Amino acid sequence: MSKTLYWFQGSACGGDTFSLLGVELPNLCELLEMLDVEVLWQPSLSNGTPSQHHALLEAICHGEQKLDILCVEGAIVRGPGGTGMFDTMEGVPKKDLFARLAKVAGDVVAVGTCACFGGIGADGEIEATGLQFLKATPGGFLGSSYRSANGNVVVNLPGCPCHGDVIASTIATIAQKAPLPLTEWNSPVEWYDLLVHQGCVRNEYHEYRIEEREFGERGCLFFHLGCRGPVAYGPCNKILWNRRSSKTRVGLPCVGCTEPDFPQSHPFFQTPSIVDIPIELPDGVDRAHYLAYKGMAAAAAPDRLKQRKTRV
């Protein structure tokens, strides 16, 4: 029997939908067919009239139409003053509609940083929140104790947007009822247990501390230009974007878009530092040893790196 999927958009830009459209093989249509997943509704792609949509929602919420996978793109809006009236459908706060869907959904997937942690609107007057986290604090809209009808926590797929392959693979895993080990942020270990730094073509520059101070140089972006690659978890440099590249590969500092506090409060493109040493070091390193190691590494740097001959 087909699995069913409903795609809910809260306070969203649609970026995750377009990221999903970019999946290579299988492409979106083939994937749904292979997995025998029936899309009940996808707001950017589905046909069906507003009145049919209304009837579908009522059928789902009353248990007449089963809902196996509820994908949520965008944050849940609670403002102003907890009313949710900054984001409505036919005059009803969408947060109330989402609460009804979450009660009956077999599994819930938060797609993108806004749905996971609140994201762009988490500090704003719209009082946006993620489904089970508000930034790094557990709870969010549903609360820490929420479990889906199948007894699971919300699966978080952070990223702004989330990579399409990550979305497709997670839907496939859930549809096939395969094991899905999660990190402390309830994200699949498979995709989120590595740093954006892993696989960056500038790694050798990082290793020997050859730093980029101006855009367009060849060097590591971490020490001066605010790159979050050694701190943020995600597969950007493992699976690449649009099968081609990544931000850090083209010289654009990682903005840490998978992190619970994205967008960070300090200015982008600057590394907060004291006498040229970043205040925040690569995740988990011992500060004293790291600084000693970097000093020695800089002294050992080969000329081809110092002269920035090595391409990136």
Partner 1 sequence: MSVKTIVLHMNRVEGDLEVHVDVADGVVVDAWCKGTMYRGFEKILVGRGPLDGLVITPRICGICSTSHLLAAARALDDVFDVEPPPDAHRVRNVTLMTETVQSDIRHTVLMFAADLVNPAHRSDPHFEEAVRRFEPFRGESVVEVIRETKKILEIVAILGGQWPHSSFMVPGGIVSVPSSADLQRCLWLLRSFQSWYERQILGCSLERFAQIESVAELHAWLDESPRHQNSDFGFLLRAMRSMRLDEIGAGPGNYLSVGSLEMPNDTRIKAVQDSHFLEPAGFAQGTEVEAFEQESIREHVAHSWFMDYPGGRHPFDGETRPYATGAEGSKYSWAKAPRYADRVVETGPLAEAVMSGQSLIRDMLSQGPNAMVRQIARIIRPVRLIPAMYAWLEEARGDGHYYVKPKPLQNGRGFGLCHAPRGSLGHWVEITDGAISHYQIVTPTAWNASPRDSENRRGAMEEALIGTPVKEVDNPIDVYHVVRSFDPCLVCTVHTLRKPLNREWNGAA
Interacting positions 247-266 with partner 1 (CB under 8 A): 247-252, 255, 257, 263, 266
> SS3 letters for 23-58?
CCCCCHHHHHHHHCEEEEECCCCCCCCHHHHHHHHH
- Supply the minimum distance, in Å, between the C-beta of residue 78 and partner 1: 12
**Bridge partner residues of 233 (DSSP):** 195
Considering the rule CB under 8 A, would residue 311 count as an interface residue with partner 1? yes
Contacts of 18 (CB under 8 A, 6+ apart): 161
Instruction: Give whichever of 201 and 297 is closer to partner 1, judged by the CB atom.
Output: 201
Specify the amino acid at residue 31. Answer: L
Contact 69, 107 (CB under 8 A): yes
Residues 222 to 241 in contact with partner 1, rule: CB under 8 A: 225-226, 236, 240-241
Residues 147 to 166 in contact with partner 1, rule: CB under 8 A: 160-161
Contact 247, 201 (CB under 8 A): no
Residues 5 to 64 in contact with partner 1, rule: CB under 8 A: 9, 11-19, 21-24, 27-29, 32, 39, 41, 43-51, 53
Distance CA 309, CA 192 (A): 33
- Supply the minimum distance, in Å, between the C-beta of residue 247 and partner 1: 4
- Supply the minimum distance, in Å, between the C-beta of residue 110 and partner 1: 16
Considering the rule CB under 8 A, would residue 273 count as an interface residue with partner 1? no
Stretch that binds partner 1, among 82-90, 98-106, 145-153, 197-205 (CB under 8 A): 82-90
Instruction: Give whichever of 239 and 298 is closer to partner 1, judged by the CB atom.
Output: 239
Contact 154, 146 (CB under 8 A): yes
The residue with tokens 């925040």 is 280
Among 58, 125, 283, 286, binds partner 1 (CB under 8 A): 125
Among 77, 131, 231, 232, binds partner 1 (CB under 8 A): 77
Considering the rule CB under 8 A, would residue 246 count as an interface residue with partner 1? yes
Distance CA 205, CA 219 (A): 5
Instruction: Give whichever of 84 and 140 is closer to partner 1, judged by the CB atom.
Output: 84
Instruction: Give whichever of 153 and 220 is closer to partner 1, judged by the CB atom.
Output: 220
Compute CA distances 110 → 135, 166, 172, 179, whole Å. Answer: 13, 12, 15, 18
Instruction: Give whichever of 40 and 153 is closer to partner 1, judged by the CB atom.
Output: 40
The H-or-E segment that residue 69 falls in is strand 69-73
Please measure the distance between the N-terminal and C-terminal CA atoms of the chain and give it in whole angstroms.
49
- Supply the minimum distance, in Å, between the C-beta of residue 189 and partner 1: 23
Considering the rule CB under 8 A, would residue 144 count as an interface residue with partner 1? no
- Supply the minimum distance, in Å, between the C-beta of residue 24 and partner 1: 8
